[in-house]
């Protein structure tokens, strides 16, 4: 509402200035006509005593004719002069529909021409402006106010079962749209590049060591379960302990950075990354696994729970009115702005998406936009139409009256002087 009020204020303020300027120019043109009339009358009265007044009288006479002719032309453009239905007057109102169609066609054909918009969009760095806007601390407060105003109605809409189900399905389709094998390959490649795979290897060694330690008696019994019966039990137990101790020593030795198991593990990961990226069979297997997982009731229930938890959390935050939401937004906006501003690939992606959005919406529907503009103009009543056009060009048209007065008087004076010279 604040933006609408501000826009109305700008429009009405601009209209008031134009109306005042039009009134001043109209008064000046009319005053000049009255001045010529007074000069003509004065010169006509005293011309007998002062013969040279014939020259200014000729100028004033021709100036009045030029002023009246141009007044008629200017008024006839907008309305009937003196209210008389003279043919070929009130031109704008008689041809309003044709003018509306012309304006609509010019608007859609010139302002929304594909090369024009494309060239203009190429010169605008939308992502940079977005980044600067996000980094401005004052905009954080604006976004917080918008969020608090919009969250309650959006949550009420979101609470409806169809919207909630659609959101859950949208999340599921979004996950399903991501190819599992390439994603897994990239994740593994990042882990290997950052040496995180060694941490996973060490974690596996620690887990195996703990398992052997925690289940030593059970494992020893399993090992000696099928041992020779002729050996004493304590011997079998001793052999089982020796076997388990050997396993523990092997696991301890595998902690070394240059251990063969670790190198074999790295070769396995490199091969797995390659298969995930290029092998069609591995790709198909990952897609089947992903499809089976997404189709399971467990995943559907989890997505429903996730959506419900997000809705409940946001609703509680909106109702509590705490500063937590403001803190999150104020902390996230500058970080997001810096990320966009510092990452050229992100900026290029945002700019391309924004340009494509404009071209796919505005340019593709420019005929509808032109028809809308033409319809708006055609629906104006005649008085409104005339006033709006007159406010835009009326001031300049009053100069025609002024010029007509001066030019007409000058031509009249020249013709009178020539006549006198060769008379």
- pLDDT(295) > 60: yes
Rounded to 5 degrees, what angle do the CA atoms 238, 261, 269 make? 140
Residues 327 and 394 occupy one common structural domain: no
Residues 214 and 271 occupy one common structural domain: yes
Residues 140 and 264 occupy one common structural domain: yes
The whole-number pLDDT of residue 374 equals 81
Q: What is the rounded distance in angstroms from the CA atom of residue 328 to the CA atom of residue 130?
A: 19
Residues 190 and 323 occupy one common structural domain: yes
- pLDDT(38) > 70: yes
Q: What is the rounded distance in angstroms from the CA atom of residue 174 to the CA atom of residue 289?
A: 16
Residues 104 and 140 occupy one common structural domain: no
Q: Within a 10 A sphere around the Cβ of 389, how many other Cβ atoms? A: 18
Residues 76 and 193 occupy one common structural domain: no
Residue 41 pLDDT grade (very low, low, confident, very high; cuts 50, 70, 90): very high
Residue 273 pLDDT grade (very low, low, confident, very high; cuts 50, 70, 90): confident
Helix or strand or coil: residue 253?
helix
Look at the chain and report how many structural domains it folds into.
2
Question: Does residue 9 belong to any structural domain of this protein?
Answer: yes
Residue bearing the bigger pLDDT, 12 or 226: 226
- pLDDT(418) > 60: yes
Q: Within a 10 A sphere around the Cβ of 74, how many other Cβ atoms? A: 21
Question: Does residue 353 belong to any structural domain of this protein?
Answer: no
Residues 174 and 305 occupy one common structural domain: yes
Please give the full DSSP string across 161-210, using - where no structure is assigned.
Answer: HHHHHHHHHHHHHHHHTS-HHHHHHHHHHHHHHTTHHHHHHHHHHHHHHH
Least confident of 25-34, 247-256, 296-305: 296-305
Return contacts of 290-295, CB within 8 angstroms, 24+ apart: 290/176, 290/180, 291/176, 294/172, 294/175, 294/176
Can you tell me the mean pLDDT for 250-255?
Answer: 84
Domain finish residue from 344, 373, 400: 344
Domain finish residue from 344, 373, 397: 344
Question: Does residue 373 belong to any structural domain of this protein?
Answer: no
Question: Does residue 360 belong to any structural domain of this protein?
Answer: no
Q: DSSP H helical segments within 344-381, as ranges?
A: 344-358, 366-379
Can you tell me the mean pLDDT for 341-350?
Answer: 83
Least confident of 205-209, 269-273, 386-390: 386-390
DSSP state of 150: H
Q: Within a 10 A sphere around the Cβ of 122, how many other Cβ atoms? A: 10
Instruction: Assess contact for 254 and 152: CB atoms under 8 A.
Output: no
**Helix axis angle, 297-320 to 324-342, nearest 10°:** 110
Residues 31 and 131 occupy one common structural domain: no
**Helix axis angle, 382-422 to 54-78, nearest 10°:** 160
Question: Does residue 75 belong to any structural domain of this protein?
Answer: yes
The whole-number pLDDT of residue 138 equals 77
- pLDDT(339) > 90: no
Q: What is the rounded distance in angstroms from the CA atom of residue 132 to the CA atom of residue 56?
A: 66
Residues 249 and 177 occupy one common structural domain: yes
Residues 188 and 297 occupy one common structural domain: yes
The whole-number pLDDT of residue 65 equals 92
Question: Does residue 120 belong to any structural domain of this protein?
Answer: no
In the predicted model, what is the mean pLDDT of the chain? 78
Domain finish residue from 344, 371, 397: 344
- pLDDT(2) > 60: no
Question: Does residue 258 belong to any structural domain of this protein?
Answer: yes
The whole-number pLDDT of residue 269 equals 87
Q: What is the rounded distance in angstroms from the CA atom of residue 366 to the CA atom of residue 111?
A: 9
Residues 214 and 287 occupy one common structural domain: yes
- From residue 4, how far is each of 133, 144, 384 by CA, in Å? 21, 20, 21
Residues 209 and 312 occupy one common structural domain: yes
Residue 289 pLDDT grade (very low, low, confident, very high; cuts 50, 70, 90): confident
Question: Does residue 132 belong to any structural domain of this protein?
Answer: yes
Instruction: Assess contact for 212 and 247: CB atoms under 8 A.
Output: yes
Q: What is the rounded distance in angstroms from the CA atom of residue 319 to the CA atom of residue 91?
A: 60
Instruction: Assess contact for 96 and 378: CB atoms under 8 A.
Output: yes
List pLDDT tens digits, range 159-196.
Answer: 565 656 676 677 777 777 778 888 888 888 888 888 88
Task: Quote the domain boundaries for residue 335.
Answer: 126-344
């Amino acid at each position: 509402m604040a933006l609408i009020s501000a826009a109305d204020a700008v429009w009405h303020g601009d209209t008031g200035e134009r109306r005042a300027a039009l009134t001043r120019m109209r008064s000046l043109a009319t005053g000049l006509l009255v001045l010529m009339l007074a000069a003509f009358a004065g010169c006509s009265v005293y011309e007998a005593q002062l013969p040279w007044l014939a020259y200014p009288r000729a100028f004033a006479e021709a100036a009045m004719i030029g002023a009246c002719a141009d007044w008629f032309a200017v008024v006839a453009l907008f309305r009937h002069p003196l209210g008389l239905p003279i043919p070929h007057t009130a031109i704008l109102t008689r041809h309003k529909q044709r003018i509306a169609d012309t304006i609509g066609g010019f608007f859609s054909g010139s302002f929304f021409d594909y090369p024009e918009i494309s060239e203009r969009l190429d010169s605008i760095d939308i992502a940079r402006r977005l980044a600067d806007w996000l980094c401005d601390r004052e905009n954080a407060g604006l976004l917080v106010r918008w969020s608090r105003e919009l969250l309650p109605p959006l949550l009420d809409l979101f609470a409806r079962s169809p919207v909630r189900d659609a959101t859950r399905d949208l999340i599921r389709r979004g996950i399903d749209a991501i190819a599992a094998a390439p994603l897994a390959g990239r994740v593994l490649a990042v882990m290997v590049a950052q040496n995180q795979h060694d941490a996973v290897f060490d974690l596996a060694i620690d887990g195996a060591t703990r398992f052997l330690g925690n289940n030593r008696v059970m494992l020893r019994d399993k090992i000696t379960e099928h041992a020779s019966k002729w050996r004493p039990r304590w011997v079998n137990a001793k052999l089982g302990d020796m076997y388990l101790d050997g396993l523990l020593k092997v696991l301890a030795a595998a902690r070394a950075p240059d251990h063969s198991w670790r190198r074999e593990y790295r070769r396995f990961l490199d091969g797995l990354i390659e298969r995930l990226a290029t092998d069609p069979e591995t790709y198909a297997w990952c897609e089947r696994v992903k499809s089976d997982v997404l189709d399971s009731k467990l995943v559907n229930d989890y997505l429903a729970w996730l959506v419900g938890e997000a809705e409940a959390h946001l609703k509680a935050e909106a109702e509590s009115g705490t500063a937590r939401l403001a803190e999150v937004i104020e902390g996230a906006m500058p970080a997001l702005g810096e990320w966009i501003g510092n990452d050229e690939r992100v900026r290029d992606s945002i700019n391309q998406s924004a340009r494509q959005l404009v071209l796919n919406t505005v340019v593709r529907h420019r005929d509808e936009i032109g028809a809308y503009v033409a319809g708006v103009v055609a629906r104006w009543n005649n008085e409104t139409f005339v006033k709006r056009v007159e406010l835009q060009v009326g001031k300049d048209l009053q100069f025609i009256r002024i010029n007509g007065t001066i030019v007409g008087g000058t031509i009249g004076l020249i013709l009178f002087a020539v006549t006198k010279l060769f008379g």
